[in-house]
Amino acid sequence: MTVQPPDPDPANTPDLESGGGVRPDSTPPDSAQTAGLSEHEPRTSWSFPPTGVATMVVIGVIVVVFVAIAVLLVLDIVGVFD
């Protein structure tokens, strides 16, 4: 058994002009609405996830270690540790 489409057949629709429009005094036929949400969207939170916090902490530690090593190398090149 074939399911009928939600929109009416344009050949059998009354007041439908040849270009697909309707006369100003006519109302177009109803059809299924496909716009909008079918379910409620989950509420987004503004909090940062724990994995994001951990990632930022690890990146911060890496940056601090990199800067400390760079400073120590520059001081060694200048001759502070001789």
DSSP category for residue 79: T
Query: What is the C-alpha separation between 28 and 5, in angstroms, rounded?
Result: 16
pTM: 0.45
pLDDT for res 26: 72
Domain ranges, ordered by start, for the chain:
53-82
pLDDT by residue for the chain (82 residues), tens digit each?
A: 577 666 767 677 677 777 777 777 776 556 566 666 667 777 777 788 899 999 999 999 999 999 999 999 999 999 888 7
